[in-house]
Structure 1
Amino acid sequence: MTKFRLAPAAPPHAQTPAPARQRVPLTQPLRHARYRRLWCANLVSNLGTWIQTFASAWLIASSSHSASTTTLVQTSTYIPVFLFALFAGVVADAVHRPQFLFFCNLFMAGCACTLAALVTTGHAPHAAVLAVLFCLGCGSAFMWPAWQAAMSGLVEPDEVEAAATLNNLSYNTAAILGPALGGVLFKWIGPGPLFLVNAVSFVGLLAVYRTWWREDGGRPRPCAGYGARLREGLATAFGCPRYRRILRNVATVFFATIAFAGLLPVFVRDVLRMDASVFGTLMGSLGGGAVVAAFCLPAIRARVDKTNILAGALAVYGAMLATMPFLHTLTLLIPLIVCGGMAWSAVVSTLNAAAQLSFPADVRARTLAIYLVVMAGGYTAGSLFWGRVADAWGVRCAMAAAGACVLVNAAVLVTGKRKNPI
C-alpha cells in the first residue's frame, strides 16, 4: 500500500501551483485483462460494422439520384439512438451489464443476417434496407450506454481518457480497413456477403460477454423503479452546469459534422464521378487520420487543456469540410481528409472522456445515455438537413455550409473558454 506524508501547511498568502497533468501512455488501459479482451473483440466487430456502413451507403447511393435518400442511411442508424438511448441508460444501470450486452449484440447479429439474406435474394428495396438499419440502430441504442459505462469501469479513473482514445483507435482502425476492403469486394461479390461479414464479426464479442457473464454469475443490480431512476439521471445530468455545456457542444458539433458521412457518397458519385473503390478510399482516409491522432493525443493532452484541444480540432475539421468541394483530385483530397480524421479523433475522444468523467459509476450509464441522445439528435437532424440542402443547392454548397458551421463552433469555444471550459 502506498503511504502518504502530510506536507506542512502553506501560508495563507501563498499560491499553490496547479499540478501538472500526468501523461498516461496510450496502451496503459490494456494492462487490464478484461478490458484488453473486450477491446480486441470490439476491433473485429468494428471492422464488420464499417464494412456494412460502406456497403449500405453505396448500395443506396448507387441506386438513387437523391441526396436526401442517401443521407437516410445515417438517419436510420441514429434516430433509434435518439428515441431509445435514454431508456436504455436507465436499463443499463439496473441490469447485469455483460448479460445485457450479450443479448444486444446477439440481436444485432441477427439483424445483419437478415439484411444479408434480403440483399442476396434480391428482396431489398430501399425501404427494406433502411428498416433493417433502423433495427440495427435500435440494438446500438440499447448497447452504447451499457458499453460506455462498462468500459470506463474496467480501468482506473486516470486511464479513462487513454481508454477513450484506444476505443476510438479501434473504431478508426476498422474505419480504414472496412471501407477499403468493401470498396474492393463490392463489385466482385456484391453487398450481400459484406453484410454477412458483419454478422460473423459479432462472434468474438458474444464469446467475451458470455465468459464475463458466467464469471460474475449474472447477479442482478438492486434498483428503484425505472421512473425514479430516469428522473434521478435527468436531474443529475442537467443539474450540472459543466455537463450542460458538454451537451450543447455535442448537439451543435454532431449536427454539422454528419455532413461528411452523409454526403460523401453523393460527392464521390456526382462531383468526382468515381466509383465505390474511391468512396471506400476516402472513408478510409478519415479513419487513417484518426489512427495517427491516437498516438499523438496523449502527449498533447498532457500540455493542452480540453477546451483548446476541442476548439483546435473543430477548426481543422471545419476547414476540411469547407475545402473539400473545391478539390477534384485524390492527391489533394486524401491528405486533406487524413488531417480531418486526426481532428475528428480529438473531437470524439475529448467529448466522450469529458462525459464519462463527469459522474460516478452508479449513474454513469444514465448520464451517458443523455449524451448519446443529444449526439444522435444532432446526427439525425443534421443528416436530414444537409440532405435537403444538397438536393436544393448542390452537394458542394451543403458541404461548404457544414464546414462553416463547424468553424463557428470552434470560434465560440475559443471566445467563451474562460467562463465555460469543457
Structure 2
Amino acid sequence: MFRSLRIHNYRLYASGQIISLVGVWMQRVAQDWLVLELSHGSPMALGIAASLQFLPVLLLSMWGGVLADRMDKRKLLLWLESALGLCALALGLLDVTGVVELWHVYLLCLLLGAFSAVETPVRQSFVVEMVGRDSLTNAVAINSMMFNLARVVGPAIAGVTIVAIGTGWVFLVNAFSFVGVVGGIWLMRTSQLMRSDPVPREKGQLLSGLRYVRGRPDLMTVMLLVFFIATFGMNFYMTLAIMARNVFQGDADAYGLLSTLIAVGTLAGAAWAAKRTKPRLSVFIASGVVFGLLEIVSGLMPTMLLTGLMMIPVGIAMMTFTTTANTTVQLAVEPEMRGRVLGIYMLVFLGGNPVGGPLMGWLGEINGRAPIIIGGIVSVLVTVTAWIVLLRRGDVAKPRLRRTRRRGAGEPAESVDAAA
C-alpha cells in the first residue's frame, strides 16, 4: 500500500507535507471561525471569504500549469511554499496583536488564493517526477491519505486551541509548519528526479492546453463532472460551519468535530484508493451518484451527532470520486502537457467556488440546511446526466483509453493504457 514511500525524494516530500497539512487544516478552521466572529455570524461573509480565496484560481491556475511545464518544478515550489507560509504569518500577527479586521482577512484570503492557484498544478505535476508513472496512482492516494489524516488531526487541534487561546496562535502554528515542507523539498536528491523535458517558451501555450482538453472527450467528461460537484457539492469548509453554528447552535468545537468526522471518511476512501492500480469509469460515475445521495441524507439529519456520523460515508464517496478523477487526468496525458492539463483540472475543481461560495452562503441565510441538501441534489443530477450521455455514446463499454505517449527525459517510449 505504501510502496511510493520507498523512494527517498518522496519520503522527504511526504514528511514535510504531513506537518504542513496539519497546519493548513488548523488555519482553515480558524479562518472560518474568525470570519464568523468578525461578521457576527454572517454566512454571506463566510461565502465572500471563500470566493476571494478561490477567485485567483480563475485567473492563475492555468498559468501555473504553463509554468510547471516550462520551469524547474522543485525550485518553483520552494518559492511558492515560502510565500504561503508568509501569508499565514501575516494573518497570525494581525490577530494576536488584536488589530485584525474583516478586510484584513479578505485581503489575505486573496493573496493566499493567488499563491495556491499557481502552487497546486506545479505540486500535482511534480509528484510523477518523484515517483514515476508506475507508482503515480499509489502516490496520489498517499497524498490524499496525508491530506485527510491532517484533516482529522488539524480541525480537532484547532477547535481546542481556538477555545483555549484564540485563532491568532493557530495561524502562527501554520506559518511555522511550512518549514517542514520547504525543508523536505530543499533536501531532495535532484539526480533521482524523473523529469520530463521542459517545454520551450512559446506563444499560445495556454490555448494549446485548452485545445488539447477540448479534443479529448474523456477528459472533458471528467472536467465537467468535477466542476459541478466541486462547486455545489463540496463546500464543506462553509456548509459544516453553518450547520454547526446556525443549525445546531454549537461553537468551534462542534465545527471541528464535523470536520474531523468527514475527514475520517475521506481518509478511509484514500486508503482504499491506494490499493487500486488504475482508475475506472464505473467507479468514477458510481461514486459521484453515491456522494450526492449521502450528502442529501446528511443534510436532513435531525441532530449534530447523526449529521457527523453521516459525514463518514460522505467522505469515503467524495475521496473515491476525487482520487479517481485526479489519477485519470494524470495518466491520460502526455508528459509535456501534464502541467497545463492539471492547471485546467484545478481551475474546474476550485474555480467554481467564487460562484458556489456566495450562492451557498445566500442559501444558508435562508435555511442553514439548504446548501448541503441542494449541493447533493446537483451532484446526483449532473452525474446521472453524464452517465446517460456516456451510455448513448457507448463509452461505458470502453473501460480503457489507449494512447501513445511521447517520451520524456528518463522514460522509455511506450504505449499506455490509461483507465478511464
| Fold conserved between structures, TM > 0.5 | yes
* Structure 1 residues 111 and 46: alpha-carbon distance in aligned structure 2, compared to 1, 3 A threshold: same
Aligned equivalent of 1:253? 229
Deviates more, 1:408-417 or 1:262-271: 408-417
Q: By how many angstroms is 1:397 displaced? A: 2.4
* Structure 1 residues 316 and 222: alpha-carbon distance in aligned structure 2, compared to 1, 3 A threshold: closer
Paired amino acid for 1:350: T
Q: By how many angstroms is 1:360 displaced? A: 1.8
Q: By how many angstroms is 1:298 displaced? A: 4.6
2:108 and 2:342 mapped to 1: Cα distance? Answer: 25
Aligned equivalent of 1:49? 24
Q: By how many angstroms is 1:120 displaced? A: 1.0
1:352 and 1:138 mapped to 2: Cα distance? Answer: 22
Aligned equivalent of 1:9? none
Aligned equivalent of 1:229? 205
Aligned equivalent of 1:7? none
Aligned equivalent of 1:314? 288
Q: Does 1:182 align with 2:158?
A: yes
1:396 and 1:220 mapped to 2: Cα distance? Answer: 47
Structure-to-structure mapping, 1:56-67, within 5 angstroms: 56-64=31-39, 65-67=41-43
Q: Does 1:357 align with 2:331?
A: yes
Q: Does 1:114 align with 2:90?
A: yes
1:221 and 1:414 mapped to 2: Cα distance? Answer: 37
| C-alpha contact (below 8 Å) 1:99/1:213 kept by paired residues | no
Aligned equivalent of 1:22? none
Q: By how many angstroms is 1:228 displaced? A: 3.3
Q: Does 1:131 align with 2:131?
A: no
Paired amino acid for 1:178: G
Q: Does 1:74 align with 2:50?
A: yes
Structure-to-structure mapping, 1:92-171, within 5 angstroms: 92-171=68-147
From 358, 363, 385, give the equivalent of 2:359.
385
| C-alpha contact (below 8 Å) 1:98/1:213 kept by paired residues | no
Q: Does 1:373 align with 2:309?
A: no
* Structure 1 residues 341 and 408: alpha-carbon distance in aligned structure 2, compared to 1, 3 A threshold: same
Q: By how many angstroms is 1:213 displaced? A: 7.9
* Structure 1 residues 360 and 305: alpha-carbon distance in aligned structure 2, compared to 1, 3 A threshold: closer
1:330 and 1:386 mapped to 2: Cα distance? Answer: 20
From 272, 281, 292, give the equivalent of 2:268.
292
Q: By how many angstroms is 1:164 displaced? A: 1.3
Aligned partner of residue 92 in structure 1, secondary structure: helix
Aligned partner of residue 202 in structure 1, secondary structure: helix
1:225 and 1:74 mapped to 2: Cα distance? Answer: 34
2:182 and 2:229 mapped to 1: Cα distance? Answer: 33
Q: By how many angstroms is 1:347 displaced? A: 1.2
Q: How high is the TM-score relative to the length of structure 2?
A: 0.88
1:325 and 1:293 mapped to 2: Cα distance? Answer: 21
Q: By how many angstroms is 1:402 displaced? A: 1.4
2:302 and 2:36 mapped to 1: Cα distance? Answer: 19
| C-alpha contact (below 8 Å) 1:77/1:133 kept by paired residues | yes
Q: Does 1:338 align with 2:312?
A: yes
From 373, 381, 385, give the equivalent of 1:408.
381
Deviates more, 1:155-164 or 1:207-216: 207-216
| C-alpha contact (below 8 Å) 1:94/1:222 kept by paired residues | yes
| C-alpha contact (below 8 Å) 1:166/1:294 kept by paired residues | yes
Aligned equivalent of 2:416? none
Aligned partner of residue 204 in structure 2, secondary structure: helix
* Structure 1 residues 233 and 410: alpha-carbon distance in aligned structure 2, compared to 1, 3 A threshold: closer
| Structure 1 unmatched runs, 5+ | 1-25
1:353 and 1:305 mapped to 2: Cα distance? Answer: 7
* Structure 1 residues 293 and 120: alpha-carbon distance in aligned structure 2, compared to 1, 3 A threshold: same
Aligned equivalent of 1:3? none
Q: By how many angstroms is 1:215 displaced? A: 5.9
**Alignment root-mean-square deviation, CA:** 2.3
| Percent pairwise identity | 25
Q: By how many angstroms is 1:221 displaced? A: 7.0
* Cα distance per residue 1:339-394 (max 9 Å; x no partner): 11111111111111111112122221111101111222222221122112222x31
| C-alpha contact (below 8 Å) 1:258/1:382 kept by paired residues | no
| C-alpha contact (below 8 Å) 1:91/1:226 kept by paired residues | no
Q: By how many angstroms is 1:91 displaced? A: 1.2
* Structure 1 residues 220 and 163: alpha-carbon distance in aligned structure 2, compared to 1, 3 A threshold: closer
| Structure 2 unmatched runs, 5+ | 397-419
| C-alpha contact (below 8 Å) 2:242/2:364 kept by paired residues | no
* Structure 1 residues 307 and 379: alpha-carbon distance in aligned structure 2, compared to 1, 3 A threshold: farther
From 208, 211, 214, give the equivalent of 2:184.
208
From 173, 178, 185, give the equivalent of 1:197.
173
Q: By how many angstroms is 1:216 displaced? A: 8.4
Q: How high is the TM-score relative to the length of structure 1?
A: 0.87
Q: By how many angstroms is 1:41 displaced? A: 1.0
Q: By how many angstroms is 1:226 displaced? A: 4.7
Aligned equivalent of 1:18? none
| C-alpha contact (below 8 Å) 1:250/1:378 kept by paired residues | no
Paired amino acid for 1:209: I
* Cα distance per residue 1:314-347 (max 9 Å; x no partner): 2332123212333232431222101111111111
Aligned partner of residue 227 in structure 1, secondary structure: coil
Aligned partner of residue 131 in structure 2, secondary structure: coil
Q: By how many angstroms is 1:305 displaced? A: 6.2
Q: By how many angstroms is 1:134 displaced? A: 1.5
